[in-house]
Chain A
């Protein structure tokens, strides 16, 4: 029987950059999932992305975002009819400095419920070192228009780039009474 708050799996990119990584065969014994990550982008202006259940067609994803670069804007944005969760807005993730990995956090509530489409929280918090050295907070609610239970989560970055060495991802399960 799972404990209330429990790590499920951890992945660290080592050796060479990877295009993506999939947490597969996610146990269906929890209530919520939290994905805590420390991520940088390979190149200028990368943002983190998520795919659920290996679904990359059908434009089943959408997001409502609140974002700021700390200098020019604190605004809202939306992405509709997407083929993944992409919340890139301004400066994106840190890059170019191998010491910088920004927190990227995703909450998946009631992920095993097969009666509802799945709404998630998805955020990253980059204080500096993004596009042209900029900062970027991007906080979003996202919709995956599928009633399937979430059995896999694939992490990547956008703009056709790869996930650099040193990025870490840990999936936790939370079990309600």
Chain B
């Protein structure tokens, strides 16, 4: 029986990994929360985290506003699902990101919200608001997450929670 706020699965990487996947996601919850503390070995301050639902990376739209430490920016993209630091920021410093994905089993398009931060003992660090949409009516049964640059490094962690409504 699904309780209100429950861990579905957690992953901790023990080696460099190109992508992670949560598969066979139970269909017994109402919403999902996807939490990540991860980092890429890409040679960059920060890179996007990209999502596939059910193995598909198409049909996505994303809007974002962010701060970069000393500046601001905004953009529209496709399957951005948060952000994570690359190899340039302070060592041992991973992202802190949360995706809220409501009604993931419903027969409508899947909209979601994201808050992501990265940190650095320097001026450049990122704080993002994202809004996203997957234009597919299929229930979400798997989530694949991949850095846009490089691979996830060891120690990266990923957590999937289910929220059950009344």
Direct touch of chains A and B (CB < 8 A)? yes
CB neighbors of A among B106-155 (8 A): 108-109, 111-114, 129-133, 135, 137
Residue ID in chain A nearest B108 by CB atoms: A99
- Total chain A interface residues with beta-carbon distance under 8 A: 42
Instruction: Find B103's partner among A68, A69, A168 (CB 8 Å cutoff).
Output: A168
Contact, CB under 8 Å: B5 / A5: yes
B137 contacts across to A, CB distance below 8 A:
99
Q: How far is the CA of A105 from the CA of B102 in the complex (A)?
A: 11
- A4 and chain B: residue at smallest CB distance: B5
Neighbouring A residues of B28 by C-beta, 8 Å: none
Say if the beta carbon of A7 comes within 8 Å of chain B. yes
CA distance A157 to B64 in the complex (A): 23
A36 to B166, CA, bound (A): 12
Does A162 lie at the interface of the complex (its beta carbon under 8 Å from any beta carbon of B)? no
- Any B CB within 8 A of the CB of A146: no
B23 within 8 A of A: no
Q: How many A-B residue pairs have CB under 8 A?
A: 118
Residues from chain B with a CB closer than 8 A to the CB of A128 are 61, 63, 133
Min C-beta distance of B108 to chain A, whole Å:
5
**CB-CB contacts of B59-87 with A at 8 A, as 1s and 0s?**
00111111000001111100000000000
Residue of A66, A98, A103, A172 with highest tally of chain B CB at under 10 A = A103
Q: Which of B64, B112, B163 contacts A70 (CB 8 A)?
A: B64
The minimal Cβ–Cβ distance linking B15 to chain A, given in whole angstroms, is 34
* Mask: chain A, 120-156; 1 = CB below 8 Å from B; 0 = not: 0001111111000001110100000000000000000
Secondary structure at chain B's binding surface: helix, strand, loop or mixed?
Answer: strand
Instruction: Indicate whether A70 sits within 8 Å of B75 (C-beta atoms), given known contacts A38-B111, A125-B112, A137-B131.
Output: yes
B74 near A100 with CB under 8 A, answer no
Are the C-beta atoms of A66 and B133 separated by less than 8 Å? Answer: no
Which A residues are in CB contact (< 8 Å) with B66?
A: 74
- Report B-chain residues with C-beta under 8 Å of the C-beta of A163: none
A to B CB contacts below 8 Å, 10 in the list? A5-B5, A8-B166, A99-B135, A101-B111, A125-B132, A127-B61, A127-B63, A136-B63, A137-B63, A172-B165
